[in-house]
Structure 1
């Protein structure tokens, strides 16, 4: 029996050794795959680092461009504000000039009761409308200009 027990133990140790050898072979295959994956992972990391550096340079360029645009836009905005103020001033002065012109043309206009109406010209088939005096034309233009200015808020 002791001999039989020795054979069983030896057989059990042999089976365990076979299982250990099989398991070691399986681990060897997995380690080889992991080693291959490591090299591809290193290549991927290197590409990622390169892409990150390119992106950082692009962001730096964009920041520089934004700074330049901000400076240019700020100066243009300041110039536009100044020009707007000048235009407001000029429009108010133009409004005063138009009022004075209207007063001048109204004062220069002859009163309708003092002047006898002109006889109507004989109409011909291709007759042009009766000529309007320069003072009346200027007064009408000034009045129309002033009305457009008041209704639209703009002179033209």
Structure 2
């Protein structure tokens, strides 16, 4: 009879251990289900990341093309602006040369024009090439040159 209680104790211990093993298996099964679910979510996230990376690469390629095109456009416009600057400088130089010539001509005309002596009342004077409309034109040209020189001084002082 002494073996009967020992057999029941052993079988009870085996039953308890078997119940603990079954409980632990249920717990492991739940954890494995969660791990599989997380693995599927991770696969989805990796797929989304790959698509986002591809989109970013294509956007970078587009930005590079746009930057290259903008650089080419800017370079051509800068070259055109340089050509216009040289042309404008040439025009300014030519304008100054013309202005200097006009100033010399007006100075020469001023020096060559002597004040006319009043003519006697009885004599009729024939018009000379220096009289009449030419003299006012020289005065107008001189006034225009003075205005131009003043304008140029204002622009140079502003710069």
Partners of 1:10 and 1:144 in 2: CA distance: 125
RMSD over aligned CA atoms reads 2.8
Equivalent residue, structure 1, for 2:42: 41
SS at match of 1:114: coil
Shift of 1:29: 0.8
- Which whole-Å deviations, capped at 9, do the CAs of 1:2-43 have from their partners, x for residues lacking one? 655554444333323222211211111111122122222222
- Which whole-Å deviations, capped at 9, do the CAs of 1:107-141 have from their partners, x for residues lacking one? 3237998358xxxxxxxxxxxxxxx9222222111
SS at match of 2:115: coil
Equivalent residue, structure 1, for 2:154: 151
Equivalent residue, structure 2, for 1:128: none
Greater relative contact order, per chain length (Cα 8 Å cut-off, separation 6+): 2
Does residue 134 in structure 1 map to residue 99 in structure 2? no
How many residue pairs match? The answer is 139
Structure-2-length-normalised TM-score? 0.71
Gaps spanning 5+ residues in structure 2: where? 118-134
Structure-1-length-normalised TM-score? 0.73
Matched-pair contact (CA < 8 Å) for 1:108–1:135? yes
Shift of 1:55: 1.8
- Of Structure 1 and Structure 2, the greater helix share is in 2
Asked which structure has the greater CA Rg, the reply is 2
Matched-pair contact (CA < 8 Å) for 1:102–1:142? yes
Equivalent residue, structure 2, for 1:109: 110
Equivalent residue, structure 1, for 2:28: 27
Shift of 1:103: 2.3
